Amino acid sequence: QDEQYYYFLTTEGISSTDKTSGDTKLVLKRGSAWKTGGGLIAYIGNLYLLDKSDGKIYKFVPAGDTFEKSDYLTGTPLGTGKVTDLAINGSVWVLKDGKIYEFNKGNRQSFSVSGLSKPFLNPTKIFTNVDSDNLYVLDNGNSRIVVLDKNGAYKTEYQASILKNAKDLDVFESDKIIYVLSSGNVYQINI
């Protein structure tokens, strides 16, 4: 979402819903623009889309009533493998094959995770935004949410059996709350 719209992926493309009027419209037809959408983020007026099928990140810049598409990553795309999610806070963070990759202006940055008591096992979601000091990783295989600082250092984790089947999370650091979607229910974790 941005200040005016909620954005979401459908089988037809990217749609937006106006926060004030509630009107929904298709803003970008899928066509051949991407194969398998794996994450959509609105950031500073642009839309970023992770294509799971080819490991590319597309940047869509508003141009009147439409969007112009470009490849966000410079050089080689992320390639094949299990690309699962992305998050943006100035840097673009990608979760692929159980590892976290950081990109800035399309270029891969040096990033590694340190201090984990056990390695990630099937992590599916990564969360951060401009208001967050940390990275949050939904590690379904270990039924936990791992909190890392932006340098990759382990800070803490939250474990619960409901996290094994969780599909998504949203974090409000200032309110000290994590919301988790699991088995059709929304759960709250106090941080």
3-state secondary structure labels for all residues of the chain: CCCCEEEEECCCEEEEEECCCCCEEEEEECCCCCCCEEEEEEECCEEEEEECCCCEEEEEEEECCEEEEEECCCCCCCCCCCEEEEEECCCEEEEECCEEEEEECCEEECCCCECCCCCCCCEEEEECCCCCCEEEEEEHHHCEEEEEECCCEEEEEEECHHHHHEEEEEEEHHHCEEEEEECCEEEEEEC
| Residue 112 near residue 97, CB atoms below 8 Å | no
Average pLDDT for 39-47 = 91
Q: Which residue has the higher pLDDT, 37 or 116?
A: 116
Q: Could you read off the pLDDT of 110-119 as tens digits, one per residue?
A: 999 999 999 9
Average pLDDT for 168-184 = 96
Q: Which of 5-9, 43-47, 52-56 has the lowest mean pLDDT?
A: 52-56
What does the pLDDT read at residue 99?
94
| Nearest alpha-carbon partner for 85 in 123, 112, 58 | 123
d(C-alpha 138, C-alpha 157), whole Å: 10
What does the pLDDT read at residue 80?
66
* Residue 187 scores a pLDDT above 90: yes
What does the pLDDT read at residue 178?
98
Overall residue count recorded for the chain in this entry: 191
What does the pLDDT read at residue 48?
94
* Residue 180 scores a pLDDT above 90: yes
Q: Could you read off the pLDDT of 51-98 as tens digits, one per residue?
A: 888 888 999 999 887 889 999 988 766 776 778 899 999 899 999 989
